[in-house]
Amino acid sequence: MFIIIVFLIIIFTPIFGELYGVIVNRPMSAGFWGPDPKLFSGFLMAYVFFIPLVLTIFGGKNKYWIIMALVAVELLFFFGAWEAVIIDFVAALIGWLLGEGILLVYKKLASAKNIKPSVKIKSVKK
């Protein structure tokens, strides 16, 4: 699972960097992060998007504690930069909702075919 997350983050870092640049819509300084500051911002944005997405789909019993811990560590990078915290929080929320949606579709398809799902999903009590 860790290799899947790292692979997705590396592949999608430039895309998330460009998206971050479009959202912020102002010049960004490179500082000591290299020639392109969008790559660093894109890496962090891809991190907070794919961690909840992959862990929600494939995670085990304590997946939500792990998601909160890993996203909180990343958000500490931007302590005081509220714009970046909000953007990354929204990216994490979208990743989590997308993962929950994929699990819901998987559960519906598995129940329609009478297949026992391989992913354990806790049902919500009404």
pLDDT score of 94: 92
Q: What is the mean pLDDT of residues 60-80?
A: 76
**Residue 91 or 118, more confident:** 91
Q: Running DSSP on this structure, what letter comes out for residue 9?
A: H
What is the percent of the chain where pLDDT is above 90? 5
Record the tokens describing residue 53, joined without a space: 């997405």
38: Cβ–Cβ under 8 A, 6 or more apart, which residues? 14, 17, 18, 20, 21, 28
The better pLDDT of the pair 53, 24 is held by 53
Q: Count other C-beta atoms under 10 Å from residue 5's C-beta.
A: 18
What pLDDT band is residue 30 in, cutting at 50, 70 and 90?
A: low
Residue scoring higher pLDDT (70 or 11): 11
For the cut 80, the answer to whether the pLDDT of residue 92 exceeds it is yes
Can you give the pTM of this predicted structure?
A: 0.72
d(CA 11, CA 5): 10
**Can you read off the two tokens belonging to residue 88?**
């990354």
What pLDDT sits at residue 51? 87
pLDDT of 98? 93
C-alpha to C-alpha distance for 7 and 1, rounded to whole angstroms: 10
